[in-house]
Structure formats: structure tokens, C-alpha cells
Amino acid sequence: MPQVPASAYRDGPVRYSRPVVTLADVARHAGVSTATASRIINNSPKPVAEHLRERVLAAVNELQFVPNANARQLARADRSAVGVIVHDVSDPYFAEITRGLQRVAAEHGRLVIICNSYRDPERELAYVDLLHAHRTAAIVLAGSGYHDTAATARLQHKLRVYRDAGGRVAVVGRHEHTGDAIVPENEKGGYLAGDALYRLGHTAIGVIAGPRHLTTTTDRLAGLQRAAREHRRRITSRHVVYAGFDRDGGVTAAAELLERNPAITALAALNDSMAVGALACLRERGIDVPERVSVIGFDDMPVAVDVTPALSTVRLPLEEIGMRAMALALRGGQGAPTTETAAARLVLRGSTAAAPPQGR
């Protein structure tokens, strides 16, 4: 047995790696051409003699050959993967939508490639190029559109090129892109939240809004403004704070609104994560909810029933939205784009109550 020199152990023990088995190795072992081996391994529709198929599959087993995924994708006539671009899959809103997307994809035997854009339009553009290069069957944009004309036009162009190459596009939310769309009733949901608070007698309402450049923020705020007009009230800029769509954003925005407007008796957060942050801010300040300040959120995330008091909110069927978006993305042919809505529904729980007498 040959001796291993001591110097070989300077960077740790010696590791013997098994050589990578290639398609050419399989073909040579089976006694067939590389093209024939490729057709068999990739399930090509071209006919191949059964005895050759058996020899190739036996060689694959003996050599423990693992096909290269990218090469198989290029060799196949169909496309098996679907790309999903979300703002942040760790956000409960996108986690629920992604659950629905993956459920339908799994039923169709599709691999889902999930990309986090972190609400960066430039990153979305790069991901569309990457998913196009990987020959995905479809791309689902599962996040709000942007109030950015230049970025929107560039993304529209890239998606059009992708569609012209045979890919399908589906979006969740209000976008200006060609393709199928599932559009949540964000404006109506904002109206339902505002109408509920005004009916409870609240006249001083603070709004914890999301990022200013997102269409979701604009639409939900527009609904609240519509409710204010119908109740002969106004929501001024003094009563709106824009923040990140997360718990910390809710804490910061709630604190600012309370400093600006000490008489506020209700806070309307444009998603549940921010509403949870608002509840934490109020608790830290010793402000009773809902006796002194009511809080309402949006989306109806699972956490909404776990906080104390349970959070009033506007429910969107998030998992269903994901399922419907994936179903549209995977339907055959190009066809005319389809737009479907996802209904918003008011859910009142313990975090809202009638306004205190001084706040009516």
C-alpha cells in the first residue's frame, strides 16, 4: 500500500472524491452513441430500440450517473420549472401566497424557483433575465407594482421578450405588465377598514401606510380616503405615516402618529405586520386597546388571531391567490391575458371597539 506523505495532512485529512460520471461515460459503457444515450435519459419522443434503452439504463445504474439539470432542461421539448419573484418570502403575506403557488406547481410536477426582490425594481429586472436564461415555463410576479415609470417600462419590455420566446407571465397585484393577473381588492379593503372605524364613531384616525412607491399602498390608502369622504371626514397628510411593510415599520409609524396627534382614537395599518407593531407600541406606552385606541390591520395573517387582543383586519384569501396565479401561469397556449379579482372581506375582532366619548 503506498505511503501518504505527512505534508498531505497539513490542511486536514486526505479526502478521496469520486470522479464525476459524464453522459459520454454512460454512452461508452452501454456501447451506444452519446446522442442515443441522451435521448433515452431525457425521455425523448424519438423512438429507440428497447434493447438499447435497457443497456443505457443499466449503465446509468451501474455508474450512478446523475444528469445535469441545466443540460436536461435544454434538451427537453417542454419546460418544467416556474420562476416566482416575490418581494420577500419571509413576509407572512408572501409566505401564504407562495404556499398556494407551490401547491399547484407540485400538482403539475413543476419545480418552483423562488427569487426575493426585496422591493428592488433593479433586482426584479435581473431575475427576469435569469429565469428567461433558465428556460422557465412561466414567471409569476407575486408582489405590488411600482410607481416608477422607467422601471415599469423596462420590466414590461423584458417580459414581452420572454413571452415572445414562449414563456407565460402571471402577476399578483396591480401592475402595468402584459400577462394574466390576480388582483386583490385592495381599494375595497381599505374602504371596508375605514368604513368600520367611522361607523364605530372614530373621527381621529391615523393611517400606518406602507412604502409610498407601491401600488398596494396607494390602493389601500385610496379606499380609506373614500370611506372618509362618505362619512364627511378627511384623512390629511398629518394623519398618514409611510413606513416599511413590517412590524418595526408599524412601531415607528404608530409612535410618530401618536406624537403628532395625541387625540387619535384609531390606527388603520395597511398590513397585519405593521398592525402588530402598532399594538406593541401602544402596549409599551400603556395605552389600552381597544378602550382608548382601536387598531385594524389588513390581510388576515395567521398571527392576527394570536395577538392580544385579537386583531381586526381585512381578509384576503392569500393561499387561494397563489393557487389561482399558478393555475393561470401553467395554462396551455398564449391566448388573451386574463384578469381575476380576489375578494376582500372585513373581519372584526377584539382590537376595535366604539370610540371613547372624547373621541366621537
pLDDT digits (tens, 9 = 90+) for 285-305: 999 999 999 999 999 999 999
C-alpha cell at 329: 401561469
Name the least confident of 27-36, 39-48, 155-164, 223-232.
39-48
Tell me the per-residue pLDDT of 104-141, one tens digit each, with 9 for 90 and over.
Answer: 999 999 999 999 999 888 999 999 999 998 889 999 99
What pLDDT was estimated at residue 331?
Answer: 87
CA angle, 82 then 329 then 341, to 5°: 135
The answer to whether the beta carbons of residues 352 and 295 sit under 8 Å apart is: yes
Q: Is the pLDDT of residue 224 over 90?
A: yes
pTM of the model: 0.78
Closest by alpha carbon to 233, among 258, 263, 202? 202
Closest by alpha carbon to 219, among 194, 244, 238, 246? 194
Q: Report strand pairing: 339-342 vs 240-242.
A: unpaired
Matching residue, cell 449503465: 59
Helices 92-107, 272-284: crossing angle, 10 deg rounding:
150
The DSSP code sequence of 43-83 is T-SS---HHHHHHHHHHHHHHT----HHHHHHHSSS--EEE
- Tell me how far apart the alpha carbons of residues 153 and 175 are, in angstroms, rounded to a whole number: 11
Share of residues in the chain with pLDDT > 90 (%):
64
| Conformation bin of residue 267: beta by default, left when phi > 0, alpha when psi is -120 to 50 | beta
- Tell me how far apart the alpha carbons of residues 319 and 20 are, in angstroms, rounded to a whole number: 41
Closest by alpha carbon to 265, among 253, 250, 282? 282
| Conformation bin of residue 43: beta by default, left when phi > 0, alpha when psi is -120 to 50 | left
Matching residue, cell 419546460: 79
Tell me the per-residue pLDDT of 53-70, one tens digit each, with 9 for 90 and over.
Answer: 899 889 888 888 876 655
Tell me the per-residue pLDDT of 76-106, one tens digit each, with 9 for 90 and over.
Answer: 444 689 999 998 998 999 999 999 999 999 9
Distances (CA, A) of 30 to 19, 36, 41, 59: 18, 10, 12, 6
Q: Is the pLDDT of residue 15 over 60?
A: no
What pLDDT was estimated at residue 13?
Answer: 45
User: pLDDT category, 18, cuts 50, 70, 90?
Assistant: low
C-alpha cell at 257: 402618529
User: pLDDT category, 283, cuts 50, 70, 90?
Assistant: very high
pLDDT greater at residue 44 or residue 128:
128
Bridge partner residues of 277 (DSSP): none
- Residue environment code for 97-106, b if the CB has 16+ CB neighbours within 10 A, otherwise e: bbebbbebbe
- Tell me how far apart the alpha carbons of residues 267 and 205 are, in angstroms, rounded to a whole number: 6
User: pLDDT category, 237, cuts 50, 70, 90?
Assistant: very high
Residue 134 burial (CB < 10 Å; 0-12/13-18/19+)?
Answer: middle
Q: Quick one: DSSP state of residue 266?
A: E
Complete domains list, the chain, with CATH: 19-75 (1.10.260.40), 81-184+319-342 (3.40.50.2300), 186-315+345-359 (3.40.50.2300)
Q: How far apart are the first and last CA of the chain?
A: 92
User: pLDDT category, 336, cuts 50, 70, 90?
Assistant: confident
Compute CA 336 distance to the chain's CA centroid, rounded to the nearest angstrom: 24
